[in-house]
Chains A and B, each alone.
Chain A
Amino acid sequence: MTQDATSQIFSSFQDYINEEQEIREDIRSQVKDIEQTAREIQTLLQSVHQQDGIKSISTLCEKARERFGRVREQFSKLSQKVPQDQYYRFHDHWRFVSQRLTGLSAYIVYLEKEALISREDSAAMLGVKMQRGDGFHIDLDDYLMGLLQLASELSRLAVNSVTAGDYGRPVRIARFVGELDSGFRLLNLKNDSLRKRFDALKYDLKKSEEVVYDLTIRGLVPQEQKSTDKPTE
């Protein structure tokens, strides 16, 4: 009798493994689709850095927003594949892509309004919930990771917008990145990947400040910027 019972335990675990592998397979293929869309959006937004890209920002953002429609569809498909209350069991599969996408959504919002995307808007753009309790959501860490990616992208944009002849933007970017930096300083980060990524933020900040410096000593900063901006260190 005990023999049977023991075999029963082991064979039911075998079933469990098989089932889990199936779910993972499903999730993996769905995540692959999302990654594809994310890459497309990223490529699209890259053209902001080109010479004439800055002028066509609004059309680019519009196009990118359209693509997010597909992201929403794909995320809703993904959320159906994840069993309820087991988000964190499979989290690793989409962690990377959701960080990338929050970064991109934040980038779009910044380009449009020069403001920080709220967690709510970010979740809405991805077609997911904001809170864990409401269903498939984006982890807070992943959202913050996305913001750090945004900072890198912006420090690059600061350099390129100077090349394109837009001298006002870098000043605003430096102020924004500075604000992000002091925001992150409020957080008590643990010694994890987020902390590591945050440690790189100071280089992005430094870069954008250097651009502002270069413009300032040459008197290239437009008047109206100077009055509103106090030097961010």
Chain B
Amino acid sequence: MASPEGKQMRKRKNTDVDENSTVIKAFREFQVLLDTRHDKYERLVKLSRDVTIESKRTIFMLHRVAGNEDSESLLAQTLEKLNNIKLIKMMKISEELEGEDPYQFLRAYSPGLQEFIEAVTFYHYLHSGSLVTLQQIQDDLTFPTPHPAVENVADITAPNVKREVTVQVLIPPLEYMLGVADLTGELMRLTINSVGAGDLQLPFKVCAFMRRIHDAFLSYGNVSRELNRKMSTLRQSLHKVENACYTIQVRGSEIPKHLIADVLSGTSECSSRFQEEPCDE
């Protein structure tokens, strides 16, 4: 019954459904309404999952940028990847949401959206060293219908009518902040990796940046349970980065560069998260 295609009615043996009854007639209508909504929800969940996967891959790619000689072209590649997510998946989400209250379906597409924000902010941090604004991302996810670039993308049904209206994937500010909180986890890994690659300047820069995020989040207080959970992860990541900076400062000149990474992973109470991911040392 839970599945959308389970449309076969479960008639009970004795009571035939009386199609003429006003009650049954009313419920037939509700059936259609509910099914439409559930289908839309399911489609959004699916799209959101695709966005999550693609965004995660982009983030992995971005981790390879640090310390790579050919970082410029890698960055360009990730930007293209992000644009692809935007044009194909996000565009579809925005079409699903057209004329709907986005908050009604937020739970369906929120995981993908957060991952996407994480990827975009990470890209911009590597690119320009600053935090991309909500407005910028929102503008990116606002599509005029019909979108000029869309016609090139094969699997999008051609926009039927010429409308001046724009469709967008609405980003509630809270979602943006949750994405930023996720970003700090990536920054932590970036630090550790960069030490491994021999860059001893980056950790200090990242550390300052993370502190600013951390301080800002502290002042928000009790906003949502989700944010509180991410806050504690953020604190752990910050600790790790601060410890890394400390180690570099104290012992940086004593140990050969290629050994510092080993020292770091020994001292900075290396979490399971760090160990899961193979560092490219």
Contacts and interface: CB of A to CB of B under 8 A. Distances in A.
B249 interface: no
A160 to B, nearest CB: 23
B26 A189 contact: no
Interface of B: 1-4, 6-7, 9-12, 14-15, 17-18, 21-24, 26-28, 30-31, 33-35, 37-38, 99-104, 106, 128-131, 133-134, 172-173, 176-177, 212-213, 216, 219-220, 223
A6 B212 contact: yes
A186 B28 contact: yes
Given A88-B106, A184-B27, 20 more contacts: A5-B133, A13-B176, A85-B102, A87-B103, A87-B104, A89-B103, A91-B103, A119-B26, A140-B33, A140-B34, A179-B18, A182-B11, A182-B12, A183-B23, A185-B11, A186-B9, A187-B34, A188-B2, A188-B35, A231-B14
A14 B174 CA distance: 10
A10 B216 contact: yes
Interface of A is mostly: helix
Contacts of A191: 2
Nearest to B35: A188
Given A14-B220, A185-B9, A116 B38 contact: no
Nearest to A231: B14
Contacts of B7: 188
A17 B223 contact: yes
B84 to A, nearest CB: 26
Contacts of B173: 13, 16
B103 A144 contact: no
Contact of B101 (A86, A182, A185, A187): A86
7 contacts: A16-B173, A88-B106, A133-B99, A176-B23, A179-B18, A186-B31, A188-B7
Contacts of B1: 188-189
Contacts, number: 115
A132 interface: yes
Contacts of A189: 1-2, 34
A9 B101 contact: no
Contacts of B103: 86-89, 91
B30 A187 contact: yes
A6 to B, nearest CB: 5
Contacts of A44: none
A109 interface: no
A88 B33 CA distance: 17
Counting chain A residues whose Cβ lies within 8 A of the other chain, the interface size class is 35 or more
A218 interface: no
A91 to B, nearest CB: 8
B216 A183 contact: no
B24 A13 contact: no
A118 interface: yes
A6 B17 contact: no
Contacts of B34: 140, 187-189
Given A116-B22, A116-B23, A188-B1, A5 B12 contact: no
Q: Give 8 nearest A-B pairs by CB, closest first.
A: A183-B27, A10-B216, A88-B103, A2-B130, A88-B104, A89-B103, A179-B23, A233-B14
B17 A186 contact: yes
A179 B14 contact: no
A176 B21 CA distance: 10
Contacts of A215: none
Interface string A107-133: 000000001101100000000000011
B26 A183 contact: yes
B133 A188 contact: no
A106 B37 CA distance: 24
A179 B17 CA distance: 8
Nearest to B106: A88
Contacts of B100: 132
Given A14-B220, A17-B220, A187 B133 contact: no
